Structure 1
């Protein structure tokens, strides 16, 4: 009888709490439609919600992030010029190859020194070298990574990715980087596309164009890296996930550059895309629950920090010296 009464008392309280969570969550998403909430603020709000209120739709978060991110990136393509983007891609091509190889090599060495788990280390290296969570999601089936290994790698990357969104614009201004330099640095040294775009947008349209183009060109390396991973981990049955949304981004960019009437609507499409990106960053922050943060562990985090600092410093030195 006591148990029934206890359930009778606690159930309405639980329902009320969930309702409040949903109301707060929905209210912040609505705020993301207005300029008052910038991408870094959206990410910070998401982190605060995750720590103190709780994500009411956590089971749907990953799918929502992936869908919104891809849609937003394609939308941003309508605001870019093909000629400028091609030049940015060519300028960053050799630099991209060099940084990817160097990151994986350093990741192997540091993981041996720290004695971190092999598959987790490879995922963290891939997320740092290519494009954060997207690379981890693509590589994990190729090496048959389990749920814990994927969670640790994603947690490590998202924590550092969140920090980068706040500190990169500050460092860029401190070092007086121009728009092109800052955009290239973001594309090379920030893990996830969402934070690359969020940080680069603080430096204007040129930085955003360079950052997005170089980052998406970098993301294509998911395909060869996944194929190499199947050989290293001897997994012949794996299927490589091809990032098809990059093709749609290129189509959008070409349409904006060479079809006159598309250009008339591009400003509206890119505005919606930026709102979508802001919401995406809020959802990413909302996914950084205490459980995710505590699951990372000191050694994987130390590996991620070492790789991130190394690639950030080296790329910044090369960019300021050569570009």
Structure 2
């Protein structure tokens, strides 16, 4: 592989910036609008409006760009840049939400529930996906989205498995639908089971996916449940690391037709943005990042995910979404119920040993 000289780096970066800025500006504008929508309707967050706006524009794009093909061609590199590189950069910034102290405090109690629900969810996705004959990458995205942390997990995994924009859009939309149902039904379920705030926070943190939905469900239940639920949810984000590494190895084996993997090859398979995620989390654990910059990075990660999903929406193959049909939605619904039941059962079993 030929490596370009470092002396040409400024020129290459400048050329890259000129190539991508029109499309990046478009995705940033969509992200700004979706962030405003999310601030008015917190349960929506910014990710879902961004991908919906992107898909709507992609539907209108052929008409809007008729006679402006050169302009359409100019914005495409930035759209691709947003949906790929900015998506990976957002995952790196997500690490600033975690600290070693919170992991140690919450991990001991929540880890058995997290691991049990994740194993059940991934095995369920594999088996039920085969029964429903859903496409492999869609099955993987819905499985990790349900088992780990919704759009953030989908963002981390999609570059590893080479998911298409339509597959990412379908997975995010499916996860969002059941997040909305969770916000409505979980507080009712908690009151019906007479769960104390601590137990409900544990349930919400392990069985509801996106952070905005966890905040909404736990906040509706009680203020006491809210803080614990959010910390459990953030610790649950750590499951992205082993799952991403495992998927990287599986994808490499599939591409290499089952040939052996050495330790050096496995190390090369670990995505750069996953390494960045771990490094940022470790730096945050040291306490050297002040509250102000940390808040900026948290908001930056959320905004970058919105930009990336706007790019994915703009690139979505609408006919492919139609061809996917009802099966991925059914898969998401079954996994959602399975994770909820497993979380409740595991909470009950672990409580009996305390």
Match of 1:305 among 329, 335, 340: 329
Match of 2:269 among 240, 252, 263: 240
CA contact (8 A) 1:99 1:311 kept: yes
Aligned to 1:40: 44
CA contact (8 A) 1:43 1:282 kept: yes
Structure 1 residues 209-220: aligned runs within 5 Å: 209-220=231-242
The superposition leaves residues 194-215 of structure 1 with CA deviations (integer Å, 9 ceiling, x where unpaired) of xx23322333332222112223
List alignment gaps of at least 5 residues for structure 1: 1-17, 141-148, 191-195, 257-261
Aligned to 1:154: 168
Aligned to 1:315: 339
Distance 1:296 1:150 in 2: 10
2:103 pairs with 1:98: no
Distance 2:237 2:96 in 1: 15
Q: CA deviation at 1:224?
A: 2.3
Distance 1:105 1:224 in 2: 18
Q: CA deviation at 1:308?
A: 1.0
Aligned to 2:68: none
Instruction: Identify the range of structure 1 (81-90 vs 227-236) with the bigger mean alpha-carbon deviation.
Output: 227-236
Change (3 A) 1:109 1:213: same
Structure 1 residues 187-198: aligned runs within 5 Å: 190=209, 196-198=210-212
Structure 1 residues 97-136: aligned runs within 5 Å: 97-111=119-133, 121-130=135-144, 131-136=153-158
List alignment gaps of at least 5 residues for structure 2: 1-22, 62-74, 145-152, 219-225, 348-354
CA contact (8 A) 1:39 1:198 kept: yes
Aligned to 2:64: none
Match of 1:89 among 91, 111, 116: 111
Aligned to 1:199: 213
Distance 1:161 1:47 in 2: 13
Change (3 A) 1:165 1:70: farther
Change (3 A) 1:65 1:246: closer
Change (3 A) 1:52 1:319: closer
Q: CA deviation at 1:183?
A: 0.7
Distance 1:155 1:44 in 2: 9
SS at match of 2:269: coil
Aligned to 1:137: 159
The superposition leaves residues 43-75 of structure 1 with CA deviations (integer Å, 9 ceiling, x where unpaired) of 35424542555796523321223212321x112
Aligned to 2:204: 182
Change (3 A) 1:21 1:269: closer
Distance 2:28 2:160 in 1: 34
Distance 2:154 2:107 in 1: 23
Change (3 A) 1:310 1:299: farther
CA contact (8 A) 1:133 1:157 kept: no
2:103 pairs with 1:74: no
Q: CA deviation at 1:312?
A: 0.4
**RMSD between aligned alpha carbons?**
3.7
Please give the TM-score of this superposition, normalised by the length of structure 2: 0.63
Distance 2:306 2:36 in 1: 11
Distance 1:22 1:288 in 2: 10
Distance 2:39 2:227 in 1: 16
2:80 pairs with 1:59: yes
Distance 1:22 1:215 in 2: 25
Change (3 A) 1:158 1:309: same
Q: CA deviation at 1:286?
A: 2.2
Please give the TM-score of this superposition, normalised by the length of structure 1: 0.68
Distance 1:246 1:134 in 2: 10
| Number of matched pairs | 273
Distance 2:31 2:281 in 1: 33
2:299 pairs with 1:275: yes
